[in-house]
Structure 1
Amino acid sequence: MPSFDIVSKVDMQEVDNAVNQTIKEISQRYDFKGSKSEVTLEKDSIKILADDDMRLKAIADILQSKFFKRGISPKALTFGKAEPASGSMIRQIVTIQQGISKEKAKDIGQVIKESKLKVQSQIQDDQVRVTGKNIDDLQEVIKLLKAKDLDVEMQFVNFRS
């Protein structure tokens, strides 16, 4: 029976490259001269530390543009709330989404069910498997999900016929 998996994976090497490019641009920009702003990559998040709110927003914009240039969707980033840090600095944590959450997986399953196509979807940990008798139906599901805006970056892998 033909099937495929819907996953949400981010290439961490590309994330590392985007963060390094952001750090390099911050060090070269005139408006950041004398600033103690920094960007650090942790396991599955990015920590932004800035002097003030304006610089924090500028760093976030730079980071998003670098991610976009490296082919990583902005949907893969979840910006946390800006909070005060020590020494009159502002900190913001940016979470990198790996995998599809249960709520988003249920939304994907609901969209597939409402399409009235003859396919079944099942949630497996952090991915969704879609099976059907007809390959054309599976391709219709992919087309449908790409057209919908579900606030999650999706890749379609393991297409088996």
Structure 2
Amino acid sequence: MRNKTQLDIFDRWITEFKPLLFKVVRAYASTYEDQNDLFQEVSIQIWRSIPNFKERSKVSTWLYRIALNVALNWTRNNRKHTDGKQNIETVKHILEQVNEPVDERLDWLYKEIEKLDKVDRSITLLMLDGFSYKEMAEILGISESNIGVKIHRIKKHLTKQSEIEEHHAI
């Protein structure tokens, strides 16, 4: 692939899919600086991977998978420096950036999502982003039925936690 063609594709994809990529970045990086670092890592991996895109899936699905894999590796590599959990203050900061009042239930939900293991957290984020079971399975490399089972367990867990804390009923 010619560098000019690759650069055109890269620019178009980064521009078009930046909001999607930043959803992944924000879910795995707590601070503004970490988010920028992780976004740069994701961008580098997208650049390197463009020649390998075979159009077997939608561009958005393929890019999401790249971003998710980079984020998971980044989290694993940075875990020795942090406890690996996203700081809820960062979530509040993100919400405040879009000038929306912080909803107590949303605040609680993000705290609960932080507590999930990395696969369940990824599934939850994909589900919240509206991906189908098939797309989630493709992105995460697990079966659709496994996705269904995990979503059922996640919903059951979140429902139970909301009942325990009563005022956060979801």
For normalisation by structure 2, the TM-score amounts to 0.28
User: Per residue, is there more helix in 1 or in 2?
Assistant: 2
Which structure dedicates a bigger proportion of its chain to strand? 1
Q: Which has the higher contact order (CA 8 A, sep 6+)?
A: 1
Bigger Cα Rg: 1
TM-score, scaled relative to structure 1: 0.30
